[in-house]
Amino acid sequence: MSNSKIIKNKIFLKSINGSAIFVMILLAGFFITLLVSSFPAIKANGLSFLWGKTWDPVNDNYGMLPFLIGTLITSFLALLISAPFSIAAALFLGEYFPKGIIPNIFRNVIELLAAIPSVVYGFWGLFTVAPLVRALEIKLHVPAAGLGIFSASIVLSIMLIPYSVSLIRQVISMTPIQLKEAAYALGCTRTEVIMKVILPANISGISAGFLLSLGRALGETMAVTVLIGNSPKLPTSIFSPSNTMASLIANEFNEAVGSVYSASLVEIGLLLFVVTTIINLLGRVVIRRYTVKA
């Protein structure tokens, strides 16, 4: 290797290390800022804030459990709804049509879906998804509000598909060609190759893609705020109105009066920041290890 290439590689590695250090400093700054701002709530509420069921700013009684449950149900339900569509689209782009006009058009459509603002998704869901969910609730003889966890999860699942498809497609495209050729040589059909070779060989990468999508779902705000119903009570079913941690902050932060009230909202933001950071880091670690092995 020439000296010029060695110097370029060293400069490139230094730039990567510098970017990583900057990101770590930025994350530490976010964490410290949120921690300091939420300290009055931590001091006033204690650990009971984590499992408290009542959110009553008038009496300074704060519990985040309803919002934690609403966040988890909405995110995991959206991930469950989007999973089969994401895998199907990723297989279409990564296995059936990796090159050509059709996959290019399909990729552009997916990129356009990812570029749509979340508030637009929210209003679209309000006028299209919510009436359909209300009709379903009437048939199931449950309170027919139309707004609730199920409506928010449907729209959120559509928002997750472009993100998860891009990650899973990349993982599927890295499947060793020797594995597929060996399966075809044994007489396997394309469906059998997909089900018995491609998906099992890439299960860790696919899981990492969904893990990163989950981190995206946990922090979604505007679309969920429009559709989830914004109720501070514990949800009793997937059709119940609820609130997520992000939507609660968006709804109430400007109206927060008093240091404990505003600090409690910041504490919810701190917990949301920690959870999403951990999930995204885990997903990145899994993808990095998978890429190195591939």
Domain residue ranges of the chain, discontinuous segments joined by +: 38-293
Residue 61 DSSP code: E
pLDDT for position 174 = 81
Q: pLDDT higher for 270 or 293?
A: 270
Residue 173 has pLDDT above 90, yes or no: no
Residue range 264-268: mean pLDDT, rounded: 89
Q: Give the residue among 10, 29, 247, 218 at the shortest CA–CA distance from 148.
A: 247
The mean pLDDT value for 137-148 works out to: 86
Mean pLDDT of all residues in 228-257 = 86
In terms of Cβ atoms closer than 10 Å to its own Cβ (0-12, 13-18, 19+), residue 292 is exposed
Residue 154 pLDDT more than 90? yes
Tokens of 28: 């530490």
pLDDT of residue 13: 44
- pLDDT of 63 reads 86
Average pLDDT rounded to a whole number, residues 206-228? 85
The DSSP 8-state label assigned to residue 2 in this structure reads -
Within 8 A by CB and 6+ apart from 193, the residues are 180, 183, 184
Confidence (pTM): 0.83
The span from the CA of 197 to the CA of 176, in Å, is 10
Dist. CA 145–CA 156, nearest whole Å? 18
**Mean pLDDT over each residue of the chain, to the nearest integer:** 82
- pLDDT at residue 8, rounded to an integer: 45
What letter would DSSP give residue 198?
A: I
Residue 62 contacts residue 260 (beta carbons within 8 Å): yes
Mind listing the pLDDT tens digit for each residue in 113-122? 888 888 899 9
Over residues 15-38, the pLDDT tens digits come to: 555 566 777 888 888 888 888 888
Pick the CATH number of 38-293 from 2.30.30.100, 3.30.70.1380, 2.102.10.10, 1.10.3720.10: 1.10.3720.10
Rounded to the nearest 5 degrees, what angle is found at the Cα of 237, between the Cα atoms of 244 and 280? Answer: 40
The phi-psi region of residue 220 (left if phi > 0; otherwise alpha if psi is between -120 and 50; otherwise beta) is beta
pLDDT given for residue 155 in this prediction: 93
Beta strand extents in the chain (DSSP E only)? 55-56, 61-62
| CA neighbor of 167 nearest in space, from 105, 102, 100, 79 | 79
Is the pLDDT at 62 greater than 50, yes or no?
Answer: yes
The backbone torsions φ and ψ at residue 229, rounded to the nearest 5 degrees and listed phi first, read 100, -20
Label residue 10 by pLDDT band (50, 70, 90). Answer: very low
Contact criterion met (CB below 8 Å) for 125 and 227: yes
Going by pLDDT thresholds of 50, 70 and 90, the confidence category of residue 98 is: confident
Selected residue with higher pLDDT from 96 and 3: 96
Nearest CA-CA partner of 281 in 224, 212, 216: 212
Structure tokens at 182: 């060996």
- What does the pLDDT average to over 51-75? 87
